[in-house]
Homo-oligomer: A and B are copies of this chain.
């Protein structure tokens, strides 16, 4: 593509600051080196091949995905070691088996029930399917997974002992509740429990003496606040690549670290109601306001200088409609400072959800847009 400046872009669109992205990714890899564990980036945040390569620091490597569509997209791009980290159901096995064969890759799948274990066994026998299976351990989030002491771990383990094709390779745990607190000590405790529960669970494997089970854990906060990860095979994390206001609101990152913003244009001045109207609304920003729990003032997103990507005073998107956003202002001199047509950038509450409305990233480096990177949305 031709070099573009921000003025040439249609709004709303996503801007990805390449230097910040690289810095964020380097920091996570450095942390994993310190922890002496493998990083398996969760690409559900960027859903982009180029971003995944930067996260890995090389052309390919282990990744985590959240949809079948992502699995196929990355397999097609040459990624061979993919963990699909949402519990599998029998009817999705056929597509995953097809992707594995077509692209000669491994898609590790996740289960938390004896029922699905048996169905995988049936499928594997019928189609000679080589699945690698992890049991999800619930370390306190209360979403998917079973307790580390659950007798079903042994039961599932026994089922796979009999299977020649697919195999149970280990466990995975995700401390998603680490996103709900801004208390560092609490994050440390959650991180310890995520690790300890995952490690304890493998004692219930019947075949533990043959192959040591694989232990996959992770979330961005528990990665950065881990005391140690002795015994853990890998860590999964995603939001650290971009960061967002939700993470900044809990002190996990700083606002200046956030790599992704929405570029928007001022489309109106509502003098009567002291509002600046922009063309980034509920679809362009998402209706996620999770940062508001600890940072109420950010509304649907903090408004930034388009060039620096840093907050413009305390301006925030205070309301959204489908294609309109409104910035409430107390100082009417903003009408002069931000005439109709002005560009602004908006920091997202929750980058995973905001980015999902877009097909690509406009990659900003040295104040120009030199590249556009695709994303893969949908299921």
Q: Which of A48-56, A88-96, A156-164 contacts B (4 or more CB under 8 A)?
A: A88-96
> Which parts of A104-131 form the interface with B (CB within 8 Å)?
112-113, 115-116
| Contact residue among B88, B176, B326, B378 (Cβ-Cβ distance under 8 Å from A359) | B378
Contact between B142 and A272, CB atoms less than 8 A apart:
yes
Contact between B13 and A265, CB atoms less than 8 A apart:
no
A323 contacts which chain B residues (CB < 8 A)? Answer: 44, 66-67, 86
Interface assignment of A324: CB less than 8 Å from any CB of chain B: yes
A90 contacts which chain B residues (CB < 8 A)? Answer: 341
Contact between B356 and A357, CB atoms less than 8 A apart:
yes
A379 to B326, CA, bound (A): 19
> Which parts of A277-301 form the interface with B (CB within 8 Å)?
277, 279, 282-284, 286-289
Contact between A86 and B324, CB atoms less than 8 A apart:
yes
Contact between A377 and B357, CB atoms less than 8 A apart:
yes
> Which parts of A184-202 form the interface with B (CB within 8 Å)?
none
Contact between B268 and A66, CB atoms less than 8 A apart:
no
Distance (whole angstroms) from the CB of A192 to the closest CB of chain B? 20
- Known contacts A10-B68, A91-B341, A359-B378; A144/B324 CB under 8 A: yes
Contact between A273 and B144, CB atoms less than 8 A apart:
no
A377 contacts which chain B residues (CB < 8 A)? Answer: 357
Interface assignment of A11: CB less than 8 Å from any CB of chain B: yes
| Contact residue among B66, B265, B284 (Cβ-Cβ distance under 8 Å from A91) | B265
Instruction: Give A269's nearest chain B residue, CB to CB.
Output: B113
Contact between A89 and B10, CB atoms less than 8 A apart:
no
Interface assignment of A358: CB less than 8 Å from any CB of chain B: yes
> Which parts of A215-264 form the interface with B (CB within 8 Å)?
none
Interface assignment of A310: CB less than 8 Å from any CB of chain B: no
Distance (whole angstroms) from the CB of A73 to the closest CB of chain B? 14
Contact between B144 and A270, CB atoms less than 8 A apart:
yes
Chain A interface residue number, banded: 35 or more
Interface assignment of A12: CB less than 8 Å from any CB of chain B: yes
Instruction: Give A352's nearest chain B residue, CB to CB.
Output: B322
| Contact residue among B7, B275, B341, B357 (Cβ-Cβ distance under 8 Å from A142) | B275
A284 contacts which chain B residues (CB < 8 A)? Answer: 379
- Known contacts A287-B287, A352-B322; A113/B147 CB under 8 A: no
A329 contacts which chain B residues (CB < 8 A)? Answer: none
Instruction: Give A273's nearest chain B residue, CB to CB.
Output: B142
| Contact residue among B10, B115, B143, B289 (Cβ-Cβ distance under 8 Å from A277) | B143
Instruction: Give A319's nearest chain B residue, CB to CB.
Output: B143
A91 to B91, CA, bound (A): 48
- Known contacts A11-B379, A357-B356; A112/B287 CB under 8 A: no
Interface assignment of A138: CB less than 8 Å from any CB of chain B: yes
A282 contacts which chain B residues (CB < 8 A)? Answer: 288, 353
A147 contacts which chain B residues (CB < 8 A)? Answer: 272
Contact between B353 and A322, CB atoms less than 8 A apart:
yes
30 sampled A-B residue pairs with Cβ under 8 A: A7-B91, A10-B95, A44-B322, A86-B279, A86-B323, A87-B268, A87-B277, A89-B267, A89-B340, A90-B341, A113-B268, A115-B339, A115-B340, A143-B277, A143-B321, A143-B324, A144-B267, A144-B268, A144-B270, A144-B277, A144-B324, A145-B270, A176-B321, A283-B353, A283-B356, A284-B379, A286-B287, A287-B288, A357-B378, A359-B378
Assuming A115-B340, A142-B275, what are 8 further A-B pairs, CB within 8 angstroms?
Answer: A10-B379, A12-B379, A66-B322, A87-B267, A143-B270, A143-B326, A284-B379, A358-B378
